[in-house]
Amino acid sequence: MIPRSKPLESLWKFADKQLIKVVTGIRRCGKSTLLEMFQAELKQRRPDANIIKLDFERAEARDVASAKALYSKVAAALSPSRRNYVFLDEIQHVEHFEEAVDSLFARKDADIYITGSNSQLLSGEIATLLSGRHVEIHLQPLSFAEYRSARQSPESVSAVWNEYVKFGGFPYALEFIPDEDAVDTYLEGLFNTIVMKDVIQRKKISDPASLERIVRFLFDNIGNMTTVKAICDALAAGGRKIAPQTVDGYVEGLREAFVVLRADRFDLRGRELLKTGAKYYASDMGLRRHILGGAFRDYGRVLENLVYLELLRRCRNVHVGVLSPYEIDFVSGPEDAREYWQVAASVRDEATLARELRPLQELRDNYPKWLITLDDDPPMDYGGIRQISALDFFLH
């Protein structure tokens, strides 16, 4: 098992608190393994714990298809004399599962943990029922620090970085490295499963070919401002006309399955989220490379994508900063602890450095300002704007 210290710390932070712990994330990012690691630690720290676990993607739980059946099965396993810990994995397969979870939570004799591969897990009626009584822990594929730790490679840090960028961070993909064909076969099967089970079936999509084209468009345009109209125009140019509302639904399906993530724009002067335009980022670079094919040629945007994912691991609030006429790649953190981030493959060219610094120089506050690059240079300071190497950022 690959150590996932930060998510484990989050689980322990909320353990035994009167909150439902909800672990979300794209399929095969390690949610089930994370719970297994937590359960192993739980047995050490709480030897008398009564652990109840159900994985709804395995045969032994397929007879539990309704909220009533789920509640009955778990309730029958609860111990009146020991502390109960209930783990419900990929719970979205149970119809109206939220009713069972709500009823179990009301009993107050169990600590509840659930996982799901779809963001709809916490929307609509579910959010209403569980409102104020749950905490979400979002898990992504491996970070670079986790990947490097798992690989234990004698290669240099930069060599492992290039491998990470190429193959991505899905934990099981490491079993096949450095066999690129084997990794791609695994990623193809994974992508097909995600699209079929978590997008096409859930959203009742009748045009899978258009869905695939939209995935390609979003993956090819990471870091670019994207609108539904732009996607429609691109599809029309390829001979496939599709209604804007259909495109919007397909994109939402991809977001709900965590295939892509959206960074909304935040007006730094008006201090509000803007309703139009957003940037989309891929959930994993290996998956992106496999879908688009070929080697990367857009290292700046790939780095930007990976910085966005890393910031999300560290902070829930990450937006694109708008300080008209300038744009700041990312603004992270709450308003009273904000940080600003610019990302560039290289700033050794003076004109490029000036262009990247200018938006940060326009800011009139004292919050931390960072410039992240792939340049293997010592840290620099430009009037309070700190330039650091990407590898240092990802490993610390």
Residues ≥6 apart with Cβ < 8 Å to 242: 207, 210, 232, 235, 236
Average pLDDT of the chain? Answer: 93
- Sort strands 385-389 and 380-382 into parallel, antiparallel or unpaired: antiparallel
- Nearest partner of 372 among 386, 359, 362, 360, judged by Cα: 386
Q: How far is CA 170 from CA 121, 174, 190, 287, in A?
A: 22, 7, 10, 9
pLDDT tens digits, 57-66: 888 787 898 9
Lowest mean pLDDT among 45-54, 99-108, 161-170: 99-108
Element (H, E) at 287: helix 285-292
- Mean pLDDT in residue range 35-60: 94
pLDDT tens digits, 295-315: 677 899 999 999 999 999 999
**Three-state DSSP class for 170?**
coil
Q: How far is CA 229 from CA 212, 213, 222, 225, 264, in A?
A: 17, 14, 16, 11, 17
pTM of the predicted model as reported, rounded to 2 decimal places? 0.94
pLDDT tens digits, 217-275: 999 999 999 999 999 999 999 999 999 999 999 999 999 999 999 999 999 998 899 98
pLDDT at 125: 55
Bridge-partner residues for 389, per DSSP? 373
pLDDT at 275: 86
Lowest mean pLDDT among 80-89, 124-133, 283-292: 124-133
Task: Yes or no: say if 331 and 266 are a contact pair by the CB < 8 Å rule.
Answer: yes
Q: Is the pLDDT of residue 124 over 60?
A: no
pLDDT tens digits, 75-113: 999 999 999 999 999 888 898 888 899 999 998 999 999
Domain ranges of the chain: 5-138, 142-396
Pick the CATH number of 5-138 from 3.30.1490.190, 3.40.50.300, 3.30.300.180, 3.90.550.10: 3.40.50.300
Q: Is the pLDDT of residue 287 over 60?
A: yes
**Three-state DSSP class for 396?**
coil
Q: Is the pLDDT of residue 383 over 90?
A: yes
